[in-house]
Amino acid sequence: MAEEDNLREKGAALELDSACSEEDEVTLVPMVQSDSEDVDDGDFESEVFSTSEVVQYMMDCIEEVNSVLQLPVTITRMLLQYFQWDEEKLMEKFYDSGDSDELFKAAGIAKPPIVEADFFLSDTTIGVCDICLLTEQMFGWQCGHRFCLGCWDQYLTTKIMEDGKGQSIPCPASACDVLLDDLTVMKLVKDSRVRLRHQHLITNSFVQCNRQLKWCPAPDCNFCIKLDDPGPRSVQCQCGHIFCFRCVRSYHEPVPCALLNKWNRHYQKYSYFIMHTKQCPKCGGLIEKSGGCNYVKCKYSGCNAEFCWICLRLTHFHFKGCNRFKEEEKGQVGTVGLRYTFFCKRFLSHSQSRKLESGLYEVIWNQKNDHSVTSIEVQYLTKAVDILLACRTVLMHAFVFAFYVRDKNGQVAIFEENQRDLEAATECLSECLERLISSYGSESTDMADLKQKVKDKLMYCNTRKDVLLQHAREGEDNDWWEFDE
């Protein structure tokens, strides 16, 4: 059952719809990419944290700083938050400013006592609340403002649940910017769901400020990745999702994050013209049909050519004969559109192939249920599909890279040669692997020979992928690459 679940998860992760539930008993585990080594992230150490482990990691950071500052824990947390969890900057300001009162004031913190005090128990009295004007049990904060417990609860609930405030909730008094500490908030809020949300907001803020931490972007996944050397590296979550640690999008090497943004904008700019326009068969001008009639006239630069919109044949009396299939290129937006379409089609082709090949996981699972393959063979075939899909992903983004890169030193030719080798190797692997998987249970097929072919092509394909990525990284380190604006 574990193998079946694993195969199902792999297929689901490809569509970013895996459902990962965070459990408190999950322990800190090394980031495992799978036996297939389908993602090469260099030699950087990564770890996967559950939400509870992120909280513990945050508390460890607080305790480390507090061992020097000797302040109440929640106050230290608020100071770290003020300095965006930059421990060195906090230490520097705390000891070099010479005026801790000014530091606390700037952070919105009333100067704390030397030891933790229970204000909730010691500072409650009966009085008239300035918010609801009722005589109730009151609670006063360090700034001196007092309100009833019900108004405190309602105020904090609104701030947490509606405003999304967790780490910087001020006193509700007008013009008072003194912040409440975490312990006080947790005591004043009655609803456990609100308290949990408050803790999540604080934890999320900690992750956002820590450059070594990133939440997994997969839907419903509550795991967090810690990377010792953060950068544009691919990481794999415990849920199976692979993403770029820098931009938190799906794995996209060798394309830099900024270049992928540009590609997406380019697609938005030209996709309409690629899908809804054609070039005049006479002058090549871009034509957009404004009416329903398929008999059109080009008005581009005085061309006046009349042609059939469906088949693009030049004729004045052409009203039939267009039902026979003939593949025509869509109209392009000049040279840029023509070049973009060339690379876009190849990007989409590998994307579609990857989507279809991801179905091999389900085929393997079904064959295991039919007892056509052994558990060892399931592991081997799964590894092969892992590598095949990883190669497809690299090829997809290699065409994006090639679309923008300029050849200023001859390195682009090497990149394109690596790309051609990887593309050819990937197609050969895909063909042999599909034949092998579909041949299980067939007595007529020479399985031993087919398995050896897949093994050889698997190793070669993985090697070509690594060569392409290593060359791209080497180019980034040596400033070989220059991209079109």
Q: Is position 466 within any domain?
A: yes
- Where a domain ends, among 167, 190, 213? 190
pLDDT of residue 294: 67
Q: Provide the annotated active-site residues.
A: 293
Q: Is position 412 within any domain?
A: yes
- Where a domain ends, among 190, 208, 240? 190
pLDDT of residue 460: 94
pLDDT of residue 6: 52
Q: Is position 396 within any domain?
A: yes
What is the CATH classification number for the domain harbouring 184? 3.30.40.10
Q: Is position 307 within any domain?
A: no
Q: What is the 3-state secondary structure (H, E, C) of the chain?
A: CHHHHHHHHHHHHHCCCCCCCCCCCCCCEECCCCCCCCCCCCCCCEEEECHHHHHHHHHHHHHHHHHHHCCCHHHHHHHHHHCCCCHHHHHHHHHHCCCHHHHHHHCCCCCCCCCCCCHHHHCEEEEECCCCCCEEEEEECCCCCEEEHHHHHHHHHHHHHCCCCCCCCECCCCCCCCECCHHHHHHHCCCHHHHHHHHHHHHHHHHHHCCCEEECCCCCCCCEEEECCCCCCEEECCCCCEEECCCCCECCCCCCHHHHHHHHHHHHHHHHHHHHCEECCCCCCEECCCCCCCEEECCHHHCCCEEECCCCCECCCCCCCCCCCCCCCCCCCHHHHHHHHHHHHHHHHHHHHHHHHCCHHHHHHHHHHCCCCCHHHHHHHHHHHHHHHHHHHHHHHHHHHHHHEECCCCHHHHHHHHHHHHHHHHHHHHHHHHHHHHHCCCCCCCHHHHHHHHHHHHHHHHHHHHHHHHHHHHHHHCCCCEECC
pLDDT of residue 24: 31
Model pTM score:
0.65
Low-confidence ranges of the chain (pLDDT < 50): 2, 8-9, 12-39, 41-43, 114-122, 323-334
pLDDT of residue 174: 85
What is the CATH classification number for the domain harbouring 392? 1.20.120.1750
Q: Could you tell me the residue range of the domain that residue 419 belongs to?
A: 346-483
Q: Is position 360 within any domain?
A: yes
Q: Is position 176 within any domain?
A: yes
pLDDT of residue 324: 43
Q: Is position 266 within any domain?
A: no
pLDDT of residue 422: 94
pLDDT of residue 37: 37
Total structural domains in the chain? Answer: 2
- Where a domain ends, among 171, 190, 209? 190
Q: Is position 212 within any domain?
A: no
